[in-house]
Amino acid sequence: MPAVLSVRDLHVAFFTYFGVVRAVNGISFEIQANETLGIVGESGSGKSVTATAVMGLVEPPGAITGGFARLGEVDLFFLPEKQWAALRGERMTMCFQNPSRALNPVLRIGEQIDRVYRRHRNEASKQDAWQHAVHLLKEVNIADAERVMTRFPHQLSGGMCQRVMIVMALMCDPTLLILDEPTTGLDVTVQKQLLALLRNLRGTSDASQWLITHDLGVVANLCDRVVVMYAGQIMEEAPIDVLFSQPRHPYTCALLESIPQVNVRNQLNPIPGNVPEPLHLPSGCPFHPRCKHVMDVCRTVNPEFVVFEQGQRACCHLYAQQGDRDV
Ligand code: SF4
């Protein structure tokens, strides 16, 4: 069975007045049927740009400058814009960060869901759309779904807006659901409810989920596999239990060490230094200015992937003599 999404050697750049910002630099990954893949990394690592490229939403001065993305059997980057747009909202959907801003403030929720649904289902009546939306709102634990359909976004909480966005994304029964920072800005209780909802969706929806987050706790809760990104490149990829039990890449290790422990006071371990400016990426391994294992070779040569057992791979000179090369 082909992967639901296959991305190969993707490059995305922004041609700004100050120079070329290379936001994504040759990344490759796949998402399988019924799988939840997490892409994790700090702000500016290229996670969201990767998703907008797959969705066909990179706007000038940005451009996809290399690689390909295949949704099932369809080569997205070779599609005419009209056909690509037809897939958005139907076969692949994206819930953007900050749902209260992503929703149209002057349209009632029911009208917004109706527009998305009937754009792709021309034959559907308003009544069909309404019934389907109410059904899905109840599935995402909104008890008074009919009332919510008549509300404006500002009348709903952040958690409710996030659920509405998920319903809009699921209306056409997509094969791929992209969730960009789904829990950001929500309080802890609502975050917990949302994570439970997303887990539950895996049983009720056929959509594979692609989760973009900086929060390893969210990843641990939801994902089957994780891709760790830094400065537009993949540093490591592994099944979730392998990543947490045996992280290989120094950046992954630093990310895991930086998670605050509730029962340990005064012990924060932030990663030293800052994410590099995308306009001035370091030579060699992009993580070398912050890496405590840095060697001379790291400053000049960007490492290749080394493949380990259990589907783990890491891009680091520390493992140059181990594993298999991933070409
Ligand atoms: Fe650190 Fe070198 Fe590995 Fe980069 S390649 S993560 S600098 S050890």
SS3 314: strand
Does 250 sit in the ligand 1 pocket, CB within 6 Å?
Answer: yes
Say which range, 95-99, 142-146, 214-218, 277-281, has the weakest mean pLDDT.
Answer: 95-99
Structural domain boundaries, residue 312: 248-327
Task: Name residues whose C-beta falls within 8 Å of residue 246's C-beta, 6 or more positions apart in sequence.
Answer: 238, 312
Is 45 within the bounds of a domain? Answer: no
**In this structure, what token pair is assigned to residue 248?**
């290989």
206 pLDDT more than 60: yes
Residue 284 lies inside a defined structural domain of this protein = yes
To test ligand 1's pocket by mutation, which of 288, 305, 306 has the most ligand atoms within 8 angstroms of CB? 288
Helices and strands in the chain, H and E counts: 11, 13
> The pTM is what?
0.91
Q: Which residues contact 99 (CB under 8 A, 6 or more apart)?
A: 158, 161, 162, 164, 165
Residue 140 lies in a domain: no
Is residue 112 a part of any domain in this protein?
no
Is residue 60 domain-resident?
no
Q: For residue range 263-274, what is the model confidence (pLDDT) as tens digits?
A: 666 666 778 888
pLDDT digits (tens, 9 = 90+) for 109-134: 999 999 988 888 878 888 988 999 99
CA 316, 39, 253, 269 dihedral sign is positive
For the CA atoms of 93, 96, 100, 103, what is the dihedral angle to 10 degrees? -40
What is the tally of structural domains in the chain?
1
Residue 134 lies in a domain: no
Q: Name the pLDDT band for 325 (thresholds 50, 70, 90).
A: low
Q: Is 51 left (phi over 0), alpha (psi -120 to 50) or beta?
A: alpha
Is residue 99 lining ligand 1, measured as CB closer than 6 Å?
no
pLDDT tens by residue, 51-69: 999 999 999 999 999 999 9
pLDDT surpassing 70 at residue 140: yes
Domain contains 5 = no
Tokens encoding 154 = 């500002």
Inform me whether the pLDDT recorded for 244 exceeds 60.
yes
Tokens coding 83: 């056909």
The response to whether residue 293 sits with its C-beta less than 6 Å from ligand 1 reads yes
Give the closest residue to 243 by CA, choosing from 19, 37, 66, 80: 37
Q: Is residue 191 part of a domain?
A: no
